[in-house]
């Protein structure tokens, strides 16, 4: 590709200047090198591009017809190269991330804000989806990486632990559990619970913990979104089981959060990447910022 681009540039420069000597000077190459480039291009195309004599150089009919198309090709290649350089130097580019809704609404915003402030030419796109959908997006190559929870091993992806997210209950401040410093898992059986749907990582982790202690919980409400679960809890309709990360964006005097203990229940938050895929430079930098947050 580089060879063809040089040959195209050589042809276009000679065509515009009508002189090999001036064209070679403009291209900063020797006249003999320029002559070889033109000859090689003519041999590749199988046509003569210039009629030459001692006094002048003139385009053949085919040569005149090629000026427009080759000019377009060179312009597109130069634009592509410039765009690639912009991406590699972080002047321009887009990072795509799939994340659990709780992470997308708590951990990610301040990290992205700092990242954009340091690299104003970059953009970050977020898809806030359930755990299984994160894996699907990563495997399909639709996102650079995912932040979520992995239910089972998959040889097509690489995972790395970032942090653990404890499960808490969120209740109306007048609820009797609001006065407690913590609540035992078994004791939750006495109260109406608000749980996320079965395809959510929070629900799956909670039910595994319940199975280990021999408890069975039937929720009074099931929700797709944490905001809905919190609204139901705020209305006094039950205790919402949600991750500790839900506390970070929460400013609500009507709600009280209480950690679940005996046993504590942790949801492991992981970096999820496609196996064999090299992260773009901008995505790798954003990821390092996330890792720095996870170690604090």
Q: Give residue limits of the domains in the chain.
A: 2-88, 93-161+269-294, 165-266
> Could you tell me which residue, 273 or 4, shows the higher pLDDT?
273
Q: Give the count of beta carbons closer than 10 Å to the beta carbon of residue 211.
A: 10
Residues 6+ apart with CB under 8 A from 212: 263
pLDDT at 2: 60
pLDDT at 79: 61
Q: Rounded CA gap, 176 and 174, in Å? A: 6
Reading the block at residue 126, the tokens are 């977020």
Is the pLDDT at 90 greater than 80? The verdict is no
- Give the residue-averaged pLDDT of 5-28: 85
> Do 2-88 and 93-161+269-294 share a fold?
no
Q: Name the band, by pLDDT with cuts 50, 70 and 90, for residue 86.
A: very low
The CATH code of the domain at 2-88 is: 1.10.10.10
The whole-chain average pLDDT of the chain stands at 85
Is the pLDDT at 177 greater than 90? The verdict is yes
Residues 6+ apart with CB under 8 A from 296: none
Domain 165-266 has CATH 3.40.190.290: yes
Is the pLDDT at 119 greater than 70? The verdict is yes
The CATH code of the domain at 93-161+269-294 is: 3.40.190.10
Q: Would the pTM of this model clear 0.85, i.e. be above it? A: no
Is the pLDDT at 210 greater than 80? The verdict is yes
- Give the residue-averaged pLDDT of 53-82: 77
């Amino acid at each position: 590709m580089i060879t063809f681009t040089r040959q195209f540039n050589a042809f276009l420069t000679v065509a515009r200047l009508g002189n090999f000597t001036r064209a070679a000077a403009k291209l900063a190459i020797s006249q003999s090198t320029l002559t070889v480039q033109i000859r090689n291009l003519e041999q590749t195309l199988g046509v003569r591009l210039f009629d030459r004599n001692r006094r002048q150089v003139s385009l053949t009919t085919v040569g005149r017809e090629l000026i427009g198309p080759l000019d377009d090709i060179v312009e597109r290649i130069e634009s592509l190269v410039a765009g690639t350089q912009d991406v590699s130097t972080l002047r321009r580019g887009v990072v795509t991330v799939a994340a659990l809704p709780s992470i997308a609404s708590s951990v990610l915003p301040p990290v992205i804000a700092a990242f954009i402030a340091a690299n104003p030419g970059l953009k970050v796109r977020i898809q806030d989806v359930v755990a299984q959908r994160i894996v699907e997006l990563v495997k399909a190559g639709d996102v650079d990486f995912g932040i979520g929870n992995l239910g089972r091993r998959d040889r097509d992806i690489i995972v790395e632990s970032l942090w653990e997210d404890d499960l808490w209950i969120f209740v109306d401040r007048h609820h009797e559990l609001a006065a407690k410093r913590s609540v035992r898992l078994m004791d939750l059986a006495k109260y109406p619970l608000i749980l996320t749907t079965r395809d959510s990582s929070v629900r799956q982790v909670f039910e595994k913990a319940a199975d280990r202690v021999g408890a069975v919980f039937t929720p009074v409400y099931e929700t797709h979104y944490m905001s809905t679960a919190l609204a139901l809890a705020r209305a006094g309709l039950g205790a919402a089981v949600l991750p500790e990360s839900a506390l970070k964006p929460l400013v609500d005097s009507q709600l009280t959060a209480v950690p679940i203990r005996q046993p504590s229940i942790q949801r492991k938050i992981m970096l999820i990447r496609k196996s064999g895929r090299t992260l773009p430079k901008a995505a790798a930098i954003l990821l390092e910022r996330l890792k720095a947050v996870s170690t604090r």
